Amino acid sequence: MASPADPGRPEAPEGKAKGEAGGEEASQEGDLRSVLVTSVLSLEQLDLDLFRGRHYWVPVTQRLFGGQIVGQALVAAAKAVSEDVQVHSLHCYFVRAGDPTVPVLYQVERTRTGKSFSVRSVKAIQHGKPILICQASFQQDQPSPVKHQFHMPDVPLPEELLTQEELIQKYLQDPNLLDRYRQGLNKMLAQEVPIEIKPVNPPDFFHRRPQEPKQLLWVRARGHIGECDMKLHCCVAAYISDYAFLGTALFPHQHHRVSFMVSLDHSMWFHAPFRADHWMLYECESPWAGGSRGLVHGRLWRRDGVLAASCAQEGVIRVKEQPSGSKL
């Protein structure tokens, strides 16, 4: 992993992301470095295995974005392993709400260092108490003839789709749009989210029509990251993976108004090298919801059809009770 001062600057050539279209890289070479590298995932080292992270983007809920905490925790874990291993999985529990007014401390425990696999445990701490507990596992490269994967969904290319901002502008032009939705959309436009998103099947939130609990999004980090230690791209993907993920479970339930929704846990498995600043297809689906909880699964596909990572998350979803016979 890169140095504490600059997590995006590669220290060694191992684990470079590959398998991407060269033209896209050329189109981003002139861009500013991604804020996900220069700010969001840049940790300050306070001591051996102790780091401090600050906040860049806070959602309208005024709670810390879970993807930021997961991504920063993985950065801290990656700084405590050798350069010749790559992250293959992480498992996190969100145990307390994050406070956006103070930094987060990341305390790393070197749980095990083996010949092939190494495990690092990370506590994200605020006000003296953990807000997230993360276990990250790293593996030395071990080729094997035993391999397979699902097929990537057949979808339009990102160049053929509108960005999330362009879709919001389109929604705002609807004269029949309710004021509460108009206010919410304007708030979304005002936020500086460090992710570019192009929905393949935009949800029909504003006409409250139930849909299948599935969504497809082209996603990538804003700005340029470049070829570097693959662990950094995994940290960025961890950040991206939490955006709009749990909301997939709400698609069939548009007649309900959500009063409270937070992540309980988040897991990822990394399968193949990728570039987090190149377009990847994020395939999300919710196989189950009940008991005030929702479960979502996700797959991150490189645009050449290679499955780069898989994700899973469960969260609390509470809705407002509606009077008998009432309609939203």
Q: Which residues are catalytic?
A: 242, 263, 313
Burial 191-211 (b: 16+ CB within 10 A, else e): eeebbbbbbbebbebbeeeeb
Residue ranges of alpha helices (H) inside the chain are 22-28, 35, 66-78, 164-172, 179-190, 230-241
Look at residues 172, 74, 67, 165 and name the one whose alpha carbon lies nearest to residue 119: 74
Q: What residue type is 167 in one-letter code?
A: L
Look at residues 294, 273, 2 and name the one whose alpha carbon lies nearest to residue 141: 273
Tokens standing for 198?
Answer: 């192009």
Look at residues 156, 242, 152, 162 and name the one whose alpha carbon lies nearest to residue 194: 242
Tell me how far apart the alpha carbons of residues 173 and 162 are, in angstroms, rounded to a whole number: 15
